[in-house]
Structure 1
Amino acid sequence: MKNKLLIIGASGHGKVVADIALKMKRWQSVVFLDDDENIKTTMGIEVIGKSIEAFELINDYDILVGIGNNAIRKKIQENLETKGATLPVLIHPTAIVGEEVCIAPGTVVMAGAVINCCTNIGKGCIINTAATIDHDNIIGDYVHVSPGSHLAGSVKVGQQTWLGIGSIVSNNLNITNNCIVGAGAVVNIDLTESGTYVGVPVRRV
């Protein structure tokens, strides 16, 4: 781990990531990269260049991809991994993380989130504000669990799935890769086919 942090993306999600980094007090300095040339600073943090420049800074910074889109985040993080970048895990000080929880590199756990014991969280995930993930969950790579979402025990979520704000997943269920679960939806069956699901209970659309 290095003493400087570089965040790729200075928009909404990136700003929340930066706020977590500042509250962690782990890094002596935090900077952004962003492809919007009109953004020079945000939250008082300097934007020092474009995202492509991350590959020139791998030896000097820990790097976190602060982009909300799962597919874009995956592409950038995997490119960084192939170049040997150091990808930290960011956990807000108010989050609660249980025993025997494994969180892979590039994942962010936001304010008020709860991850209970014996859960595995994949690479590049977003566990957003006040989301709860109960015991023995398996969350695949590049999943976004939106604010206020609640997963009961022994849930498995496939990679690049997005659980919308306030969604609920009952216990002992499996959600396959590349699903979108709409805001406020209730998942009470296995989702075995990729796609978009909405409603209470969910239906595929």
Structure 2
Amino acid sequence: MPHKGTHSYLKNIAIFGASGLGREVLMLIHQINHYIPTWNMIGFYDDNSDTPKTINKYPYLGDLKDLQAVKEPLYVAIAIGNPGLKAQIAEKITNENIQFATLIHPAVPNEAYQFNQIGEGSIITQGCILTTNVVLGRHVLLNLGCTLGHDVVLGDCCSLMPHVNIAGNSALGKGVYVGTNATVIQFLKVGDKAIIGAGAVVHRDLPAAVTAVGVPAKVIKRHHG
């Protein structure tokens, strides 16, 4: 079990994305601070002009242009589930004062003896399990209760929805989206920008830029780019 502790200072953090996932990331920040005070949450950024002035008591601070104008050091968590949009936002944030926050729920084991590698800007929520020698790229999202077996590799900007299971030695390319309760069995490869539907069971390799659904998963659509 994690233990409570203190830090001598808190790091300023903002969330880009003020929708439901943004509020879930806010909850994760509070959960982290409950055990080890780490973050000073200052508010939300979002390019949606309909964003309310306050989100769960935190202010809306502006759009991407406003974020790019920040003059003080700031950590940012990108709370966007769509892998392509997430990658675009990450690429556009070029302000040298900004660093991307890596957020891991305090009850998720992440010890040196696991030999896992977690990329900058990744978000790992409550109930996730990463066993050993797992590699996550940058800006990977693991939503509630995901499990990753040994030697799993997830490319940059992958988004896994709640209770996804990726078995050992499987590899997902960049920008893969995996729907709730989907499973990828062991020793498989999934190409860049693939979409795996909720509840699907992937039992063979999937090419890039396709949508696959069902049990077993079958390709129903091919995407451009």
Residues matched between the structures, number: 204
Task: Give the conservation status (yes or no) of the 8 Å contact 1:167–1:182.
Answer: yes
| Structure 1: gaps of 5 or more residues | none
1:194 deviates by 2.4
Aligned to 1:24: 32
Residue 16 of structure 1 aligns to a residue in which SS?
helix
The amino acid that maps onto 2:211 is T
User: TM-score under structure 2 normalisation?
Assistant: 0.85
Q: What residue is the counterpart of 1:52 in the other structure?
A: 65
1:152 alignment partner in structure 2: 167
Distance in structure 2 (CA, Å) of the matches to 1:15 and 1:200: 32
Contact 1:9 1:51 (C-alpha < 8 Å) held by counterparts: no
The one of 32, 54, 59 aligned to 1:41: 54
What do the CA deviations read for 1:93-134 (whole angstroms, capped 9, x no partner)?
232335111111111001111111111101111111001111
How much has 1:166 moved relative to structure 2? 0.4
Q: Which amino acid aligns with 2:189?
A: N
* Structure 2 gap segments, 5+ residues each: 1-8, 221-225
Q: 1:58 to 1:115 in 2, by over 3 A?
A: farther
Give the alignment's Cα RMSD to 1 decimal. 1.7
Question: Does the 8 Å contact 1:96/1:112 carry over to 2?
Answer: no
State the match for 1:88 in structure 2.
Answer: 101
Structure number with larger C-alpha Rg: 2
State the match for 2:3 in structure 1: none
User: What is the CA-CA distance between 1:38 and the residue it aligns to?
Assistant: 4.6
2:13 aligned counterpart, secondary structure? strand
Identity %: 26
> Which of the residues 194, 204, 219 maps onto 1:179?
194
State the 1:64 CA deviation. Answer: 1.4
2:182–2:200: 8 Å Cα contact kept in structure 1?
yes
- Correspondence 1:10 to 2:12: no
Shift of 1:37: 4.3
Matches within 5 A, 1:162-173: 162-173=177-188
Match of 1:200 among 211, 215, 225: 215
